[in-house]
Amino acid sequence: MKRREFLKAGAVVVMGTAAAASGVAEIAAAEPQLHTLDPHQAETLLKMTRRIFPHRRIDDGPYWSVVRDIDSAAKSDAGVAKLVREGIAMLDAGGRRFVEMAEAEQTAALKRIENSAFFQKIRTIELQTFYSDPAVWKVIGYQGPAYKFGGYIKRGFDDLAWLPDPPESASPKPA
């Protein structure tokens, strides 16, 4: 193998590894599962969901789950599909596409439309999907629902290590 061929092969391996580590492979796997959204709409919604509930330590996987749920809602309801089309057009109306804007510009654009039906629909779907994902729970430190362990009185109620214990007089005795 010549030096040039070795360098080309090495570059391909490095790029493939970097893509897999950054979640690009997950993105590529997610897009073909979409039925209603085109790639631009999907990418716009991905960026939008990352701006609405930003978590730097969470990769794109859970955010793509939100986009897939939006796609499912648009597939089953023509009104949602129209809302998404019009909302993305509204975000792209400033002369530049939403996905090309810097994070601060994206946040400002979302603040301008935060009272719209489009924003509220996306936010609602994201709340339901994103924060129901056990992978997200693990990153943000949520232990999951406590009902199967007897509720929060028996699990998690008194886990506040960062606050001092209240005096006995502050809490009534359980019945």
Answer yes or no: is 13 within a domain: no
Q: Does residue 50 belong to any structural domain of this protein?
A: yes
Quick check: is 35 in a domain? yes
Is 110 among the domain residues? yes
Tell me which residue range forms the domain holding 47.
Answer: 22-130
**Does residue 111 lie within any of the structural domains?**
yes
Question: Per the domain annotation, does 34 fall within a domain?
Answer: yes
Predicted local confidence at residue 146, as pLDDT: 78
Q: Where are the alpha helices (DSSP H) in the chain?
A: 3-22, 24-30, 39-52, 60-76, 78-91, 103-113, 117-130, 134-140
Determine the Cα–Cα distance for residues 135 and 61; give it in Å rounded to an integer.
9
Predicted pLDDT at 173: 78
Q: How far from 151 is each of 41, 135, 141, CA to CA, in Å?
A: 41, 22, 17
The predicted structure's pLDDT at residue 13: 52
Residue 123 counted as domain residue: yes
- Round to whole Å and give the CA distance between 54 and 76: 28
What percentage of residues in the chain have a pLDDT greater than 90?
A: 58
pTM over 0.85: no
Reply yes or no on whether the pLDDT at 31 is more than 80.
no
Report the domain count for the chain.
1
CB 51 within 8 A of CB 12: no
The answer to whether residue 16 sits within a structural domain is: no
